[in-house]
Amino acid sequence: MKKAVYPGTFDPLTFGHLDIIKRAAKMVDELHVVIADNYKKTPTFSIEERILMIKRVTTDIENIVIVYSNDLVVRYAKDHGIKLIVRGLRNIQDYENEYALYQFNRNINRTVETCILFPSSRNHFVSSSAIKELIVHHADISPYVPRENIDLVQNKIRSKSDE
């Protein structure tokens, strides 16, 4: 069985993330979508909310597993018999970060490979931080966030910005 892991903070989930999830799921028998926190970021959404956001829009994808892990993704992969990490790459800054991460992962476990997927042209500039900024300024996020999650995302971010 071919398995892969697609990690991210998904804070919130965007169409860019969903694009990668759908395409990666077609490449493997089982795709683990792993919510993995980044120590440099303070998540806006709880783990449960992020899992819910992903579940709401992936009901038609039968071969995914949605989980949270606070361990290194490369260790999660090893512990679950996964040999492939899928990453999205939008721009040159992502490239620099992903290249360094790839080297660290290879030093930890040489049996796990990394596959880069580029987002579709309409998603290459979308980021979770940009979504948050748009919401704070009452701009339309419907081109960037699945409609099933818009109310949750707007309400949470607006309530945090009011604090």
- Order of strands, sheet of 3-8, starting from the edge strand that comes earlier in the sequence: 64-69, 30-36, 3-8, 84-88, 113-117
Nearest-CA neighbor of 88 among 29, 22, 153?
22
Q: What is the Cβ-side half-sphere exposure of residue 14, based on CA atoms within 13 angstroms?
A: 22
Spatial distance between the Cα atoms of 30 and 10, rounded to a whole number of angstroms: 19
From 32, 69, 128, 132, active-site residue: 128
From 17, 32, 50, 132, active-site residue: 17
Catalytic, 17? Answer yes
Between helices 47-57 and 147-161, what is the axis angle to 10°? 160
Nearest-CA neighbor of 65 among 38, 25, 113?
25
Q: Which residues pair with 33 in a beta bridge?
A: 6, 66
- Token readout for 110 is 């040489």
Catalytic, 80? Answer no
Catalytic, 90? Answer yes
From 56, 80, 90, 156, active-site residue: 90
Residues with a known catalytic role: 17, 41, 90, 128
